[in-house]
Amino acid sequence: MAEDAGYIKYFPVSWEELHRNGRALAWRLMELGPFEGIVAVTRGGLVPAAIVARELDIRHIDTVCIAAYRDDKSVGEVNIIKGLDIPNKGKGWLIVDDLVDSGITAKYVRDMIPEAHFATLYAKPKGRPRVDTFITEVSQDTWILFPWDQAPSFAKPIVEEKQS
């Protein structure tokens, strides 16, 4: 459960909201480009990177594959599954991820390509200093439920939840 890792709030994001925020991110990045390419941080950065790539007409997309979360949603040991071979320390490149949380994953990516511009849809206070551009800030104790983490189900009326 997310509560085990200190998350007490949930912030559900719909596909429409994710797409809207991806386009908003592209608007902010447009004046900073052009970019030679995008590095998507997998897995969460794949969908936002695709949206940004479309909106900015970027065809060169690479991935850096990193795993840091444990099953209980806490941050564990960072596992670099696939690194990068980007020239010039990433100068002229754009890193895209869905979220910067603790900043641990972002630190590893920054160390690989320190000159790249780092952009995320969502940022939490601990990780925010590691990114250059983001759309929405959420509190550190909030777990963001991305569309790929959700399924439609019955929701109790608020009055019933309060009685529990």
Question: What is the set of active-site residues?
Answer: 97-98, 101
Contacts of 117 (CB under 8 A, 6+ apart): 29, 32, 35, 93, 94, 95, 132, 133
Query: Does the N-terminal peptide bond of residue 130 adopt cis geometry, omega within 30 degrees of 0?
Result: no
Contacts of 141 (CB under 8 A, 6+ apart): 6, 7, 8, 9
> Contact, 49 vs 65, CB < 8 A?
no
Tell me the C-alpha to C-alpha distance, in Å, between residue 119 and each of 40, 69, 74, 157.
Answer: 10, 20, 22, 37
> Contact, 78 vs 66, CB < 8 A?
yes
Task: Give the helix/strand (H/E) hosting 99.
Answer: strand 93-100
Contacts of 162 (CB under 8 A, 6+ apart): none
